[in-house]
Chains A and B, each alone.
Chain A
């Protein structure tokens, strides 16, 4: 009786382990941070791309409209892919796009803008990547939607596509 009980406990324990590991096979082992609740925009000193002057980050989000924050770099190939979509999005009067130029060479970044167009109303020059860390980003490209209350409500890791553009348009409506 005692042996049977031990066997039963062992089988239950092994089954439990099997289920846990089997379920784990489906989980992605690449971690991507999520935005759980509406987070306020971070407050930090940001270097303006054109004037090279430090400005409080809040000053970039002064108007009562939706903002799109897009992290980009001239050396980032996916950023070139998403750029025409950002150009299209910049025509929308309901939003403004703030660019964060991530760990880039100023000369190359300006060349990029001259070549592909400028969808950004303002650009933060983030030469050491610390402004992007303030936003909780860890690579390029990344895009955030900031609502009228200066809260980050959505985040897109990787280049944006037509589906994401549709989603953005739906949110800002």
Chain B
């Protein structure tokens, strides 16, 4: 009987802790998403930081979507469909943003090539 009670306690504690852990995980994900959404009322702030009515509604929606089991990207997609790409801080790689993504890389490569050329020239001298 004593052993049974011990096992029962361990199982109950395990279930309790795993629930807490999953809540913590969901909270982390929720905060991560909210920090990446722009508030359309106070446009310099993220939804996470904003206290506007709009931000409160978005917080509820994100919470609901996470509880429904939606993945992070699917939640962003839902918000993009409603408010456009601009609502997400991190722009997606698409035909409107590829210059934004490729240009820094291009600058880096060209700059690197120029520096390398200069160094080689100096060494030759």
Residues on A lying within 8 angstroms of B by beta carbon are 29-31, 33-34, 102-103, 128-130, 132-136, 138-139
B82 touches A129 (CB 8 A): no
Q: How far is the CA of A29 from the CA of B44 in the complex (A)?
A: 10
Q: A30-B43, A138-B40, A138-B41 are in contact. Are A129 and B83 (CB under 8 A)?
A: no
Total interface residues in chain B, CB < 8 Å:
17
Interface of B is mostly: helix
CB proximity of B52 to chain A, nearest CB, Å: 9
Q: How far is the CA of A134 from the CA of B82 in the complex (A)?
A: 7
A129 touches B86 (CB 8 A): no
Task: Give chain B residues whose Cβ lies under 8 Å from the Cβ of A138.
Answer: 40-41, 54, 83
Task: Give chain B residues whose Cβ lies under 8 Å from the Cβ of A31.
Answer: 40, 43, 86
A33 touches B84 (CB 8 A): yes
- Nearest to A30 among chain B residues (CB) is B43
CB proximity of B55 to chain A, nearest CB, Å: 10
- Nearest to B58 among chain A residues (CB) is A133
Q: How far is the CA of A168 from the CA of B61 in the complex (A)?
A: 31
CB proximity of B65 to chain A, nearest CB, Å: 11
CB proximity of A14 to chain B, nearest CB, Å: 16
Q: How far is the CA of A132 from the CA of B55 in the complex (A)?
A: 12
Q: How far is the CA of A102 from the CA of B60 in the complex (A)?
A: 14
- Nearest to B82 among chain A residues (CB) is A136
Q: A30-B43, A31-B43, A103-B57 are in contact. Are A130 and B86 (CB under 8 A)?
A: no
B56 touches A33 (CB 8 A): no
CB proximity of B100 to chain A, nearest CB, Å: 13
Q: How far is the CA of A83 from the CA of B56 in the complex (A)?
A: 26
Nearest 9 interchain pairs by C-beta: A129-B57, A136-B82, A138-B40, A33-B83, A138-B54, A33-B84, A133-B57, A31-B86, A133-B61
Q: A33-B84, A34-B84 are in contact. Are A130 and B60 (CB under 8 A)?
A: yes
A139 touches B54 (CB 8 A): yes
Residue of A30, A34, A102, A130 touching B61 (CB-CB under 8 A): A130
A130 touches B40 (CB 8 A): no
CB of B64 within 8 Å of the partner chain: yes
